[in-house]
């Protein structure tokens, strides 16, 4: 490692890294007013025991050939040379393309592997596959698939999701913020593509100091900072839509709605208002647990000033998750403030640090992916369905589609054994594939369920360009460390594979990775930067200087502000050109689980006699998704080495449980261990446990559960939000909890397969690696 400070960037912030005898020192960017504690995990990126230091293959696939295999996830791994594995993989690609065509390949990829513009795993893999003629890919996200599907029908585009009114406008103009799902500071520490300045906490404090008031709608009190002095409406999980409809009822019944806005800017207002007649606060009180008078008072406060209604992405990750967002837009329309500075609605404020930043329209350096000639897509959260049910018909956003027969899964830049639901079902789905290829720096469970594990570098081991559309600078991401072991960049591995498949020149265009980074920068400097008046130095000086300032964007939501000023001159891209409180198009789809207007559905994961608690499975405060779970910040949060689960003290007392003990959580889908933490920041009857603990079925088997470490997605159900969005529903799950009895097994997933743990016992399912001959000589894993 370099002994001088090297500027770098990550999804949780820019920093400098300095090597020393004590290890890697990480310091936040000096301009960051509120650096993320997640920087404390960075040093673990170079932690060798968790790293895949050279390519590996699963013995069953290597010796017996491709095909569905129940041993996937329980087989042993063999270290091999790069030439050997790429030769074999190229042959497998040729076989699959000949037998099933391009749609038989699934290019599974997610964008969180690196904040870099070039070493973006999704772009790398998609470019490679497009050179081959395309592949089946995913559409939508695990984060906000409901918004991606619903917003085009209601407001004509997903622009309110991508570019909402900026925080600066809320800070200056908003009187009341109704935060459905909260504005959790922990989520705002992370932003896809990197973030130099963490501004959300400061913006919220400034709004409060000016006099803005906040109402938190969430079962968790700490979904909004205590310093904002918010009123806490601790509603029952999954009942947000009922509350929003009851608020709308009050506005209409008391003639506090804006009839002019409804007439000029919406369609379906009369039908929607009629649907609210029975949705009284008294109707909502037993559903939500919020007193009827509290609901009435809130509706009157909302109508009395400039109100912003925010809906977190998490609210959509439930059955019928489209409904609370649609109900919030309808409520904002009743108030008549959509398109006004600081008013209307937002989707995802504080869900990441980038939402609500002043986004610039200036293009950024981007690694071109080419056009996809196949254009075959499946909803991202339906991958297990596709693998388990090839050829089966399904509904999605007004269409009838069929799942392709996926034979080869090629995954880069993501960890489905973190972000997917019902991991027992996902294991069966992975077993159904013929070949699974994974690019991984670490021995995650995705790697441990693959046939081919291509050892990839981390962001710290390569140079890149760091920038995001909402950030205010382009950073030179320097190389902090040389590659560990025989790890290669995704680009180098795919370039060699492309060469074997006859598309190497098209993929590389004759450049190596360093040449591509310089080319992308210089192309941007001579084009978009110059046109925007940005003074960008030549690449050599940019690398030395470290960063280039970028222009700010607008503070208002451009599309909705222009529409409000003149709906006829700037119509929305909906069938009516207006905000569709009632959508004839959606109604025409005939979906029982997503009708043509905002509708109340009872929670699918309500507690019952057998599973008497509701667990909130939200994003973690101590890591980004599952990344660097072995890092110092993440590890400090563990309880007896398990992922913590929070419970209200009275719920624990009724069950004879105490803080600090290991408990068993059980749902209809599966079970796991967790470490108990008590907190009165939760509504009674509600638990909270974060996603992202590395899945450990080995420790689970020793404890008689599915995961011995605490991966919450062994508990959650793998069903779609509705036929409209087919999004994930991993936010809520009904569970029961009991004390774990017997020894607590050691966690096995932070060592390479077959490594000896601290107790000196070899992991029973990840058997020791065997030595085989390779073109690079005899190889041992150490």
Sheet holding 464-466, edge to edge: 464-466, 473-477, 547-549
DSSP structure class, residue 226 = G
Tell me the CA distances in angstroms from 150 to 142, 324, 346, 720, one per residue in order.
15, 11, 14, 14
**Cα–Cα distance measured from residue 132 to residue 558, given in angstroms and rounded to the nearest whole number:** 39
**Cα–Cα distance measured from residue 698 to residue 437, given in angstroms and rounded to the nearest whole number:** 22
396 phi, psi to nearest 5 deg: -160, 115
Are the C-beta atoms of residues 326 and 309 closer than 8 Å to each other? no
Which residues, including other chains, have CB under 8 Å from residue 209's CB and lie 6 or more apart?
A: none
Are the C-beta atoms of residues 330 and 552 closer than 8 Å to each other? no
Which residues are part of the catalytic machinery? 110, 112
Write the DSSP string, 381-441.
Answer: GGHHHHHHSTT-EEEETTEEEE-----EEEEES--HHHHSS-HHHHHHHHHHSSEEEEEES
3-class secondary-structure state, position 193: coil
Are the C-beta atoms of residues 522 and 465 closer than 8 Å to each other? no
Nearest residue to 272 via CA among 339, 334, 336, 321: 334
Tokens of 293: 């008078």
Tell me whether residue 20 is exposed, middle or buried, using C-beta atoms within 10 angstroms of its C-beta: 0 to 12, 13 to 18, 19 or more. Answer: exposed
Are the C-beta atoms of residues 257 and 267 closer than 8 Å to each other? no
442 phi, psi to nearest 5 deg: -125, 160
């Amino acid at each position: 490692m370099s002994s001088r400070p090297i500027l770098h960037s990550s999804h949780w912030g820019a920093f400098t890294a300095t090597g020393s005898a004590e290890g890697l020192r990480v310091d936040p960017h000096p301009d960051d007013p509120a650096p993320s504690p997640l920087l404390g995990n960075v040093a673990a990126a170079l932690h060798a025991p968790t790293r895949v230091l050279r390519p590996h293959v699963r013995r069953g696939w290597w010796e017996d050939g491709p095909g569905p295999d129940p041993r996937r996830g329980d087989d042993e791994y063999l270290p091999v040379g790069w030439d050997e594995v790429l030769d074999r993989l190229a042959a497998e690609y040729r076989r699959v393309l000949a037998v099933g065509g391009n749609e038989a390949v699934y290019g599974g990829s997610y964008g969180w592997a690196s904040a870099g513009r070039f070493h973006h795993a999704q772009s790398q893999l998609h470019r490679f596959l497009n050179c081959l003629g395309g592949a089946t890919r995913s559409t939508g996200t695990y984060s906000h698939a409901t918004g991606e599907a619903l917003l085009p029908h209601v407001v004509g585009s997903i622009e309110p999701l991508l570019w909402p009114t900026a925080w600066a406008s809320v800070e200056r103009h908003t009187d009341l913020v109704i935060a459905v799902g909260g504005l959790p500071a922990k989520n705002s520490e992370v932003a896809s593509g990197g973030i130099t300045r963490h501004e959300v906490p400061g913006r919220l404090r400034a709004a409060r100091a000016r006099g803005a008031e906040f109402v938190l709608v969430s079962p968790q009190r700490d979904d909004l900072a205590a310093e904002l002095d918010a009123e806490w409406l601790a509603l029952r999980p999954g009942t947000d839509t009922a509350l929003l409809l009851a608020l709308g009822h009050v506005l209409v019944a008391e003639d506090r709605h804006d009839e002019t806005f409804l007439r000029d800017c919406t369609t379906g207002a009369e039908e929607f208002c009629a649907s609210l007649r029975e949705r009284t606060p008294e109707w909502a009180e037993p559903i939500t647990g919020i007193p009827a008078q509290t609901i009435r008072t809130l509706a009157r406060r909302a109508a009395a000033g400039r109100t912003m209604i925010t809906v977190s992405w998490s609210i959509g990750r439930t059955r019928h998750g489209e409904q609370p967002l649609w109900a919030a837009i309808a409520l904002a329309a009743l108030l008549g403030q959509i398109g006004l500075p600081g008013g209307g609605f937002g989707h995802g404020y504080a869900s990441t640090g980038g939402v609500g930043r002043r986004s610039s329209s200036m293009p950024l350096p981007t690694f071109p992916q080419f056009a996809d000639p196949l254009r075959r897509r499946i909803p991202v959260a339906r991958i297990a369905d596709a693998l388990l049910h090839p050829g089966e018909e399904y509904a999605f956003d007004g269409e009838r589609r069929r799942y392709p027969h996926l034979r080869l899964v090629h995954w880069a830049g993501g960890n489905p054994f973190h972000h997917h639901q019902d991991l027992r079902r996902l294991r069966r789905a992975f077993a159904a594939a013929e070949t699974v290829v994974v690019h991984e720096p670490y021995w995650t469970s995705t790697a441990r369920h693959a046939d081919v594990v291509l050892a990839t570098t981390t962001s710290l081991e390569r140079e890149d360009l760091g920038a995001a559309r909402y950030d205010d600078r382009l950073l030179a991401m320097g190389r902090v460390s040389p590659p560990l072991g025989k790890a290669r960049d995704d680009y180098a591995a795919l370039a060699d594979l492309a060469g074997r498949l006859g598309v190497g020149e098209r993929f590389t265009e004759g450049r190596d990775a360093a040449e591509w980074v310089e080319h992308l920068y210089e192309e941007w400097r001579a084009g978009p930067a110059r046109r925007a008046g940005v003074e960008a130095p030549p690449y050599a000086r940019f690398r030395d200087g470290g960063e280039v300032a970028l222009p700010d964007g607008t503070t208002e939501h451009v599309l909705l502000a222009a529409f409000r000023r003149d709906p006829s001159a700037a119509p929305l891209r909906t069938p009516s050109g207006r905000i569709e409180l009632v959508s004839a198009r959606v109604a025409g789809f005939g979906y029982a689980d997503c009708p043509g207007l905002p509708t109340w559905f009872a929670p699918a994961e309500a507690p019952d006699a057998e599973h008497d608690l509701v667990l909130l499975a939200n994003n973690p405060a101590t890591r980004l998704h599952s990344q660097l779970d072995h890092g110092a910040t993440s590890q400090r949060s563990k309880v007896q080495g398990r992922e913590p689960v929070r419970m209200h003290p009275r719920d624990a007392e009724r069950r004879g449980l105490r803080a600090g003990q290991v408990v068993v959580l059980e749902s209809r889908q599966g079970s796991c261990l967790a470490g108990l933490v008590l907190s009165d920041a939760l509504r009674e009857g509600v638990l909270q446990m974060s996603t992202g603990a590395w899945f450990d079925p080995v420790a689970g088997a020793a404890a008689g559960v599915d995961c011995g470490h605490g991966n919450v997605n062994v508990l959650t159900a793998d069903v779609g939000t509705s036929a409209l969005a087919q999004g994930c529903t991993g936010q809520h799950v009904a569970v029961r909890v009991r004390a774990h009895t017997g020894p607590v097994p050691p966690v096995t997933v932070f060592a390479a397969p077959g490594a000896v743990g601290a107790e000196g016992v070899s992991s029973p399912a990840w058997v020791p690696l065997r030595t085989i001959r390779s073109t690079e000589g005899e190889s041992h894993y150490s």
